[in-house]
Structure 1
Amino acid sequence: MTAEAVSTDMPEKPPLLPDWVFPPPGGFVAEDLDRIPDLPAHTELLDGSLVFVSPQASFHMRAISLIEENLRRQAPKDVRVRREMSVVLGSSQRPEPDLCVINTEADQDDQQTFFWARDVHLIIEVVSPESEVRDRRRKPQLYAEAGITHFWLVERANKRPAVHVYELDEATGAYAVTGIHHDRLKLSVPFAIDIDLTEIDRL
């Protein structure tokens, strides 16, 4: 066997892994998402661990767009609708909900990368197959613990959105479901909202 053949058959060295693959003692903290270079887009922090997002499916994208467009049109002047911005809930918790409604004054800087939980009125998560447990269980727990009053969980039902609406029960500190909406979402809180969910068929 020639030297050339030997070098061709030798396995390649594995690529060096970035430092952020290995969490520090105690896990990552919220500020790390702004410090770590070359993190994948839309990386979240849950319980001190980095969570990476899978490619977005068509239903997920269209459901977000439908709700976002209607909320922006119907929202009062003292709030703003923001898409895919992370929210700091605590030192080791910085999820990135699909949509959130914030106080207008919380949007202070074109370069800001997150909002504080105290400035958030409503969080909306559209369930994805790869994040079902996080969207349905862990994230609602964290949002409730942070005192965010309103939470919507959007599921896919017969190719259309089914919006599960929750409100924080101050007595228990947990969310209580106030309704499940299929064809039409009509609410009076956190402001007057009326969305024709069947419009997703046209997107």
Structure 2
Amino acid sequence: MTAEPLAEPTSEPGCRWPVPPRDGYTVDDLFTLPDLPPHTELIDGSLVFVSPQRRFHAKMIELLLNGLRRTVPKELKVEREMTVVLDRRNGPEPDLSVVRTEAVVDDLEQTRFQAADVLLAVEVVSPDSEARDRDTKPHKYAAAGIPHYWLVELGGANKHPVVRTYELDPVSKTYDLTGTHRDLLKLSAPYDIDIDITLDALREL
């Protein structure tokens, strides 16, 4: 579906917002609308803009990215902030994704992956994304058949990293909690993973 014309300028000089189509945006619109802010997502046909992030968000992504890549097998790749196409009206952008190597085309301008090629989606919670990361996105990732989901946030009195890991029940298409990790993230799925997620490890970055 093509996007509707831009709205009339607002009172703020130079500010023009796209008028949503009657049935909402599609994934095609997400990649063709001009001048969208970086990391714009599509959820249920609506565009979601990302607010400025805390330092925790950036550093936690970096910590997990380094740890995941350290042991990733050659048939998988770890990707940061890439759109995952779930269906025609949903194109979220996980903070991290583990995808099949064959899905990575030999083109540095690649912009998206299909849900069928994603084994793990990771979301680091921000104040503005809490409801989406805890409720909306895991429900949609599970419905699309993504086998593993991680929810990452600050917890406890000393605000240390907490990673909750989930695995898909293929029958119910819902996620089951498999662990809550506060110091060491040690897993055997989707591959052997061993990451120090202590507050000290985060502060060293």
TM-score normalised by L of structure 2? 0.90
Contact 1:160 1:200 in 2 (8 A): no
**Equivalent position SS for 2:63:** helix
The change in CA–CA distance for 1:156 and 1:14 in structure 2 (over 3 A counts) is closer
Q: What letter matches 1:129 in structure 2?
A: P
**1:13-92 to 2 correspondences below 5 Å:** 14-15=12-13, 17-18=15-16, 20=18, 22-92=19-89
Deviations 1:57-78 (A, max 9, x none): 1111111100000101110000
SS at match of 2:190: coil
- Quick one: percent identity of the two aligned structures? 54
Please tell me the residue identity of whatever aligns with 1:123.
A
The AA in structure 2 aligned to 1:182 is R
Name the counterpart of 2:123: 125
Where in structure 2 are the equivalents of 1:107-186 lying within 5 Å? 107-108=104-105, 109-157=107-155, 158-186=158-186
User: For the residues of structure 2 that align with 1:34 and 1:130, how far apart are their CA atoms?
Assistant: 23
Q: Specify every segment of 5 or more residues in structure 2 that has no aligned partner in the other structure, as ranges.
A: 1-9
Aligned residue type for 1:50: L
- Cα deviation for residue 14 of structure 1 reads 4.3
Deviation per CA, 1:111-165: give whole Å up to 9, x if none. 1111000000000000001110001000000000000000000011233210000
Distance 2:11 2:185 in 1: 55
RMSD: 1.4
Q: Distance in 2 between matches of 1:177 and 1:67?
A: 19
2:3 is matched with: none
| C-alpha distance in structure 2 between counterparts of 1:173 and 1:107, whole Å | 26
**CA separation of 1:127 and 1:14: change in aligned 2, threshold 3 A:** closer
What's the counterpart of residue 200 of structure 1?
Answer: 202
Give the whole-Å Cα distance in 2 for the aligned partners of 1:41 and 1:115.
17
1:101 and 2:113 equivalent? no
Q: 1:101 to 1:66 in 2, by over 3 A?
A: same
| Structure-1 residue corresponding to 2:190 | 190
What is the one-letter code of the residue matched to 2:148?
H
**What is the number of residues matched between the two proteins?**
191
Once residues 114 and 13 of structure 1 are traced to their aligned partners in structure 2, the CA distance between those partners, rounded to angstroms, is 35
Report the alpha carbon displacement of residue 19 of structure 1 after superposing the two structures with TM.
5.1
Per-residue CA shift, 1:76-109, capped at 9, x if unaligned?
0000000000100000000001000000111102
- Distance, in Å, in 2 between the alignment partners of 1:31 and 1:78 is 29
